[in-house]
Structure 1
């Protein structure tokens, strides 16, 4: 399995990590976890709990984009060692994004998200060059 494929898995695992942290923060804030209506409870969260849940939602939105970019680069024949660098950059940006979101570092969060998006564009640009 290529390094970029491993980065997809890591990106997915980040989202599950955020789900765990978000669940723990939800319990801390509300004293319970509403398994019957978790989406309604999520809308009532504030502070770090709400931010972590939002970071998780954003992770689920961007991970398929990244995965598609990795697959496109792979099928276009981009050498795995060349696809690894933007994939590592994406994973690093997601790790920083989680921290920025949880710590309420809004301007940095936007910049870090843009870096991750640039990594996706980089993969597509390489695919175009090799395809």
Structure 2
């Protein structure tokens, strides 16, 4: 078996990051005394602490960003567009997504948006590199 491309490796690491984010949000909910709600069918939504709310929104945001990044990686892989540019963009995406978690959780304004933008531009650059 050969080693995965940088882009595929980063995609796998981004999926692990998503799982870690889900765990952090769940930990924060449990810390807020919402363990029973967290294990329930969640028919209603309780009031979350600011930290829990931010962690949950960061999870949702990464699901959205991860969808675009997955498309970018698939396009790069299937078109054989792998190279220094796409590998650099993939790592930039992952670093941005890692930094995004504390940026969102701690309310770093305007840095949260700047960090998001770096990851988004990196992802769009990968897509353009694959289709142009």
2:116 equivalent in structure 1 = 113
The CA distance in 2 between the partners of 1:110 and 1:82, in whole Å, is 23
Greater helix percent: which structure? Answer: 1
Among 47, 65, 79, the residue aligned to 2:82: 79
The CA distance in 2 between the partners of 1:61 and 1:79, in whole Å, is 23
- Structure 1 gaps, min length 5: none
1:50 equivalent in structure 2 = 53
TM-score normalised by structure 2 residue count: 0.87
- Structure 2 gaps, min length 5: none
The CA distance in 2 between the partners of 1:81 and 1:60, in whole Å, is 26
The CA distance in 2 between the partners of 1:22 and 1:39, in whole Å, is 18
How many residues are matched? 128
Among 13, 18, 29, the residue aligned to 2:16: 13
Please say if residues 75 and 131 of structure 2, whose CA atoms lie closer than 8 Å, have aligned partners that are also in contact: no
When residues 109 and 79 of structure 1 are mapped into structure 2, their CA distance, relative to the original with a 3 A threshold, is same
The CA distance in 2 between the partners of 1:109 and 1:59, in whole Å, is 13
